[in-house]
Structure 1
Amino acid sequence: MVTFGGIFCVVILAVMLPCLDVALGQSTDPSEVDALGAIKGSLLDPMNNLENWNRGDPCTSNWTGVFCHIINDALHVTELQLFKRNLSGTLAPEVSLLSQLKTLDFMWNNLTGSIPKEIGNITTLKLILLNGNQLSGFLPDEIGNLQNLNRLQIDQNQILGPIPKSFANLRHVKHLHMNNNSLSGKIPSELWRIPLLLHLLVDNNNLSGPLPTELAKAPALKIFQADNNNFSGSSIPATYSNIKTLLKLSLRNCNLQGAIPDLSAISELGYLDLSWNKLTGPIPTNQLASNITTLDLSHNMLNGTVPLNFSGLPNLQLLSVENNRLDGAVPSEIWNDIVLTGNRSLVLDFQNNSLKTIPAAFNPPQNVTVMLYGNPVCGNSSGAPIDSLCQPQSVNQQTSRQQQDSSLICSPCPSDKNYEYNPSSPIPCFCAVPLGVGIRLKSPGITDFNPYEGAFGDSTTSLLKLYIYQLHVEHYIWEVGPRLNMHLKLFPSNTSLFNMSEVVRLQHVLAGWEITLPDIFGPYELLNFTLGSYVDGISK
């Protein structure tokens, strides 16, 4: 046990236990003790992670994952953080007796059954984090009662049925992450009334019906991702051009029909994916926002020529119009306003269209990949350089990266405490014990992370109140979504070990979503927080 000030902290089993304000002689509200007993009774705990839940008082004895605070001169449970504890069983309805609960975190366990409707009685809730389980059943309407809710994460479960219209009453919610379930029915048009909604992620469900035109009235919406649903016969509402705050619109493989509306009025739009639909007609010719990094219109039935408005987009990383019916000439100036130096690159995928001619002076820069396979121009011309552009290719924007070890020749670090070299340390060959952090960017606004790695490091360390050299991006890999899975290492600052209060702070900030990454990176989810040697309290 580590003591600092009036706060007690315990670390066991690779997850940080609560720091709590405890006055001598106080005890936890009896109804909440009973509630925790019922919660444990409905869970299966094969690793005995909750074995101390029958020892003493929940708050004063530091029960695993139980955070408490003094409210109105009484001790109450305010956070239940049971992230990645290998728990199964069900979530007991008695959780509603935790009347002061702000965080309900069962991420990355194996819970089954349905979400109890009684959760709607916990009016203090700010975070509901149930993603990465095996929950089923319908979403309870009662969740719409939670006026203080900031984030609802129920993605990667097996939840059925419609999205409740009552969610429109969530006046403080910013994040609705409901992707990768079996939700069905229409997206409620009422959701536009949510005044603070930033991210609506409903991809990989069974949603159908027309896309709600009313969503264009959403006052704060930045990301709308609804890939891999079946909006059969529906078109993309022209009103979506009025969503002035929209940064990312992703409607891949949704069985959409009709024309692409003119989205040039969305001044902040940085990512547009309308691929694998049944869209027809020409590509709109008005200039898109200069923020655009990714423009994927592939696998549709678009016709006409490749418009000139694709030029003059300084941040463009990927333009894909593969597998359409475009004809005319291969455009030659798309890269003119892009600074393609260092790790910046651009992929232009024109494969399998009807492009017939190519400019005489066609000389893309070295960092530009042009794909022309499956166009008549490949048969109409011969010889270099066009032959090299006419080979079948696939888009591969650095799908993964494993960081190489430092080239410094250093003596081995001590082996007893998981020491290793920090590749970014200002002190060469300095041994320290890092914390491991696994995160996933759930809806990034980029296709290639490489040129944005520096900005990610700057913003992340600033938000975590660390120096830039304390963060090491060990490796990353693009996953289906696309989502970016990253493993980070956090090193102490020019000392061998973090003190325990700093470990507590970092874990709490990351697990409690107390930081917000810049919009270009979108929302993140915490996959793991690995204490390593710190689990034994060696830094106290």
Structure 2
Amino acid sequence: MKFSFAILDPIDFLALQSIKKSLEDMPGSNYFSSWDFTSDPCNFAGVFCSGEKVIALNLGDPRAGAPGLAGRLDPAIGKLTELAELTIVPGRVMGKLPATLSELKNLRFLGISRNFISGEIPATLGELTGLRTLDLSYNQLTGNLSPVIGSLPALTNVVLCHNHLSGSLPVFSSQTLTRLDVKHNNLSGSISPGSLPSSLQYLSLSWNQFTGPVDYLLPQLNQLNYLDLSLNRFTGPIPSCIFTFPITNLQLERNLFSGPVQPFNEVAIPTVDLSHNMLYGQVSPLFSTVQNLYLNNNRFTGSVPNTLVDRLMDGNVQLLYLQHNYLTGVEINPTAEIPVSSSLCLQYNCMVPPVQTPCPIEAGTQKTRPTTQCMQWKG
């Protein structure tokens, strides 16, 4: 039987040599020990070939907790023209992303997370029309997100969280985009309806400076199973339809949302956090089916729904935070014992709490809101 072995394309061979020269193993890592250029580079750790070309490059030991690489990513990476996948494990790779990445026309997956990549995301990445996953999270990236990034037609995952990106969020045109995570940046501006595709299932915009309403945007995103808009400056009402989404954890806390909150039906979301907003009106009894409910630091008035209290006493509601509102009543027997598995905080409302329960430290020590404030607030 006759075997034939392909010889790696000389251009790819030289590119791998340049890449190795610009990177090194961090202490404890021996990733590059197999990169002996007197042997076949297609047998190197993290190098995958098809015929004479490198089609995937996974730089660094992929095992969790393994030391990563240090250095910079050499522009010669752009010479690997058949590369479909490029990843770098967490480490101390720094410097800017090479502009030559735009020459990787076959790139489908770009994952360089938890390193020290700085500078702007090159607008030339907009030329990678087949790119599906863009993960540059936990780096030192700055500057605006170019609109051409949003125009990439095949994107399914965009993970840019924990950087220093600024400016507005581009319009994302890909109808296959399912995950968008830009939390912990300096992004700002409003998000217009139609700027995010209805295919989204995971959306995290938290810890930014976004403004404006979301009542026309969110109803279009009814495939969401994860939503975190916390720690922004969003305004206006919370659309009722959002409580019907297949979400397990709804995080809208620490914004400027206002108005009453009126779900259509019993809320099947296990955790709902609407705290630290400007919401008002009655607390809806349809929240009685929520296991962890944060409504504290708003402007809710009236009595706490009996169904909510009953489910708390039955142990079905595990956490009920209602402190720092303008609530005027709650039907709990002063001798009743709150289940050990449940947490209730009622302090700083327009009533004397009928039971004394431990509250978070940030709730303060004052049990009841001053009468003058209760008289002034009309709900």
Q: Tell me the TM-score range normalised by the shorter chain.
A: 0.7 to 0.9
For residues 392 and 271 of structure 1, do their structure 2 counterparts lie closer, same or farther at Cα, with a shift above 3 Å needed?
A: closer
TM-score scaled to structure 1, two decimals?
A: 0.60
For residues 83 and 373 of structure 1, do their structure 2 counterparts lie closer, same or farther at Cα, with a shift above 3 Å needed?
A: farther
Q: Given the alignment, which residue of 41, 64, 77 partners 2:45?
A: 64
Report matched runs for 1:212-361 at 5 Å.
212-215=192-195, 218-232=197-211, 234-264=212-242, 266-287=244-265, 290=268, 292-311=269-288, 313=289, 316-334=290-308, 346-359=318-331
Aligned-partner SS, 2:272: strand
CA distance in 2, matches of 1:57, 1:32: 14
Report matched runs for 1:148-227 at 5 Å.
148-188=130-170, 190-191=171-172, 193-215=173-195, 218-227=197-206
Q: Given the alignment, which residue of 26, 36, 40 partners 2:20?
A: 40
2:68 is the alignment partner of 1:94: no
CA distance in 2, matches of 1:151, 1:335: 46
CA distance in 1, matches of 2:241, 2:300: 20
CA RMSD of the aligned region, Å? 2.6
Q: Tell me if the contact between 2:344 and 2:359 (Cα under 8 Å) persists in the aligned partners.
A: no
CA distance in 1, matches of 2:88, 2:104: 16
1:243-275 CA distance string (max 9 Å, x none)? 121222211111222322333475434432111
2:54 is the alignment partner of 1:77: yes
Q: CA deviation at 1:289?
A: 5.3
For residues 36 and 287 of structure 1, do their structure 2 counterparts lie closer, same or farther at Cα, with a shift above 3 Å needed?
A: same
Aligned-partner SS, 2:203: strand
Aligned-partner SS, 1:309: helix
Q: Given the alignment, which residue of 350, 375, 400 partners 2:349?
A: 375
Q: CA deviation at 1:169?
A: 3.5
Report matched runs for 1:490-505 at 5 Å.
none
Question: Which moves more between the two structures, 260-269 or 277-286?
Answer: 260-269
Q: Given the alignment, which residue of 393, 399, 403 partners 2:360?
A: 393
1:140-190 CA distance string (max 9 Å, x none)? 1222222332211100001111112112343322110000001111101x2
Aligned-partner SS, 1:238: coil
Aligned-partner SS, 1:159: strand
Q: Tell me if the contact between 2:241 and 2:263 (Cα under 8 Å) persists in the aligned partners.
A: no
Q: Tell me if the contact between 1:264 and 1:288 (Cα under 8 Å) persists in the aligned partners.
A: no
CA distance in 2, matches of 1:306, 1:219: 30
CA distance in 2, matches of 1:133, 1:288: 44
Unaligned runs of 5+ in 2: 62-66, 363-379
Partner of 1:106: 88
Aligned-partner SS, 1:112: strand
CA distance in 1, matches of 2:251, 2:243: 17
For residues 33 and 230 of structure 1, do their structure 2 counterparts lie closer, same or farther at Cα, with a shift above 3 Å needed?
A: same
Q: Tell me if the contact between 1:86 and 1:109 (Cα under 8 Å) persists in the aligned partners.
A: yes
2:147 is the alignment partner of 1:147: no
Aligned-partner SS, 2:300: strand
Q: Tell me if the contact between 1:270 and 1:289 (Cα under 8 Å) persists in the aligned partners.
A: no
Q: Output the amino acid matched with 1:158.
A: Q
CA distance in 2, matches of 1:267, 1:25: 54
Report matched runs for 1:408-447 at 5 Å.
none
Report matched runs for 1:128-143 at 5 Å.
128-143=110-125
CA distance in 1, matches of 2:332, 2:19: 72
For residues 336 and 153 of structure 1, do their structure 2 counterparts lie closer, same or farther at Cα, with a shift above 3 Å needed?
A: farther
For these two proteins, the number of residue pairs brought into alignment is 350
1:20-62 CA distance string (max 9 Å, x none)? xxx64432111100101111122243545324424323435x2
Q: CA deviation at 1:117?
A: 2.0
Q: CA deviation at 1:368?
A: 3.5
Q: Output the amino acid matched with 2:17.
A: G
Q: Tell me if the contact between 2:226 and 2:250 (Cα under 8 Å) persists in the aligned partners.
A: yes
Report matched runs for 1:9-48 at 5 Å.
24-47=4-27
1:66-100 CA distance string (max 9 Å, x none)? 22233xxxx32122112355322211111111122
Q: Tell me if the contact between 1:371 and 1:392 (Cα under 8 Å) persists in the aligned partners.
A: yes
Question: Which moves more between the two structures, 194-203 or 293-302?
Answer: 293-302
Q: Tell me if the contact between 1:138 and 1:160 (Cα under 8 Å) persists in the aligned partners.
A: yes
Q: Tell me if the contact between 1:350 and 1:372 (Cα under 8 Å) persists in the aligned partners.
A: yes
TM-score scaled to structure 2, two decimals?
A: 0.83
